[in-house]
Structure 1
Amino acid sequence: MKIISSDDVLARLKQHYTYTERRGDPFRVLISTILSQRTKDENTAKASRALFQKFGTVEKLAYADIKEIEPLIRPAGFYHVKAHWIKEVAQQILNHFHGEVPCDVKELLSLKGVGRKTANCVLVYGFGIPAIPVDVHVHRIANRLGLVSTKTPEETEIELMNLFCRKDWIPINHLLVTFGRDICKPHTPLCGQCFLADICITGQNASQ
């Protein structure tokens, strides 16, 4: 059985998927990532567009009425809870960070509804700061490939940070998530079509 190499995995992912570093407004990245929790990307996009059309700044969202926020973000699901979260986040940013989204992990984690995945998304997609956002999909794929053997996304993040050079951290989330949607699906991975099958633990076992 071949031993998987993180450098080989990254090289192959880059051959198959294009990654162009993109940087959005940190506030919008933050709020959209909170809205994305436990919902599909298309629902997040719809809710985010409606929300930012009406409350596009920290100040506007901080002073918005919850009853006005809820219908705008309803497509994202759990809109009662998320409406309170994002309003409180806007208030925290306004009151404690002079209206600017912090670019420090510890400060981001102090915000309502923000965990490590969301904080790292803000660093990567809002500030262009190297980090590895790990959600359940990245966690699953990294373990399935055999890159890591971990029980939680937090453990996976640490292991991936040790495996990959810091200069390569930024595209990892995008590449693995795209790979997961395309081939390494949650319940029915397409091992027979996978360009990593020959070095993947799961793929090699499936071919035996």
Structure 2
Amino acid sequence: MPANDSRTALVRRARKINRVLAETYPEAHCELDFDNPFELLVVTVLSAQTTDRRVNKARPALFAAYPDATAMAAADRAHLEQLVGPLGFFRQKTESLLKLSQALVADYNGEVPGRLDDLVKLPGVGRKTANVVLGNAFGVPGITVDTHFGRLVRRFGWTSETDPVKVEFAVGDLFPKRDWTMLSHYVIWHGRRICHAKKPACGACPVAHWCPAYGEGPVDPVAAAALVRTQGPA
């Protein structure tokens, strides 16, 4: 936390930022398309090293061919590679999907478990993926620490941790559990649209007043406005 922040002041400032982001992004939601927990689990695994929009484009053909864990567990490897090929790292991702689906069939009768302890035991599933699935498919509060979330909470001074698990616990300690899932969406949306990694649009930022990192990017409103994206990266 900033040197002049008491614990109480930090909590108040963090919750104020969250309220303003909620007002700024009332439409915030998981930007991966899905119809059920299995689809969300798969597309979240596929989203590594690529963008949500690319995953969403590949999704219809993938689930038309392999709509559930049982079908995907028995998938033809070459065909599955072809379907996920546009997303990069297609051999690794194909292997992950096959092992993941086979584990779901073997251990959970083809269903996605709704507990974090069970999810993180699945091949290729870490806490970030598990929290995405829990928060958005099961309504279980969870904090999703992706690169955007980690960058912003450090800029906000909510934590200085860099390890994703430590970030998750440090930030979670500042907010009621019921807020965790939507907090993740608000922060990630802000990171994709305004608080960019290399040149944040500080002069167009709705939470600039409470941000210790104000000034890392252009503060001139016109220059900052030119950096604002209306949606996440392609």
Match of 1:81 among 92, 99, 117: 92
Q: Report the secondary structure of 2:161's partner residue.
A: coil
Q: Report the secondary structure of 1:174's partner residue.
A: helix
Structure 2 residue 192 is matched with structure 1 residue 178: no
For residues 161-172 of structure 1, the aligned pairs below 5 Å read 161-172=172-183
Structure 2 residue 78 is matched with structure 1 residue 70: no
- Check the 8 A contact 2:202/2:216 in 1, yes or no: no
- Distance (Å, rounded) in 2 between the aligned partners of 1:103 and 1:162: 22
Change (3 A) 1:97 1:105: same
Give the letter aligned to residue 26 of structure 2. Answer: T
Change (3 A) 1:205 1:96: closer
Q: Which residue of 1 aligns with 2:14?
A: 6
Shift of residue 21, structure 1, vs aligned partner: 6.7
Match of 1:99 among 100, 104, 110: 110
Change (3 A) 1:21 1:72: closer
Computed over aligned residues only, the root mean square deviation of the Cα atoms, in angstroms, reads 1.9
Q: What is the TM-score with the length of structure 2 in the denominator?
A: 0.83
Structure 2 residue 206 is matched with structure 1 residue 198: no
Unmatched 5+ stretches in structure 1? none
Give the letter aligned to residue 169 of structure 1. Answer: W
Give the letter aligned to residue 135 of structure 2. Answer: V
- Check the 8 A contact 1:136/1:153 in 2, yes or no: no
- Check the 8 A contact 1:198/1:204 in 2, yes or no: no
Q: Report the secondary structure of 2:214's partner residue.
A: helix
- Distance (Å, rounded) in 2 between the aligned partners of 1:21 and 1:175: 8
Aligned residues: percent identity? 33
Q: Aligned residue pairs: how many?
A: 207
Structure 2 residue 52 is matched with structure 1 residue 16: no
- Distance (Å, rounded) in 2 between the aligned partners of 1:138 and 1:194: 16
Q: Which residue of 1 aligns with 2:163?
A: 152
Unmatched 5+ stretches in structure 2? 220-234
**Residues 19-45 of structure 1: per-residue CA shift (max 9 Å, x gap):** 477884110000000000010112111
Q: Report the secondary structure of 2:198's partner residue.
A: coil
Q: What is the TM-score with the length of structure 1 in the denominator?
A: 0.93
Larger RCO, structures 1/2 (Cα 8 Å, 6+ apart): 1
Match of 1:121 among 132, 136, 140: 132
Change (3 A) 1:130 1:24: farther
- Distance (Å, rounded) in 1 between the aligned partners of 2:35 and 2:115: 17
Give the letter aligned to residue 159 of structure 1. Answer: A
Q: Which residue of 2 aligns with 1:57?
A: 68
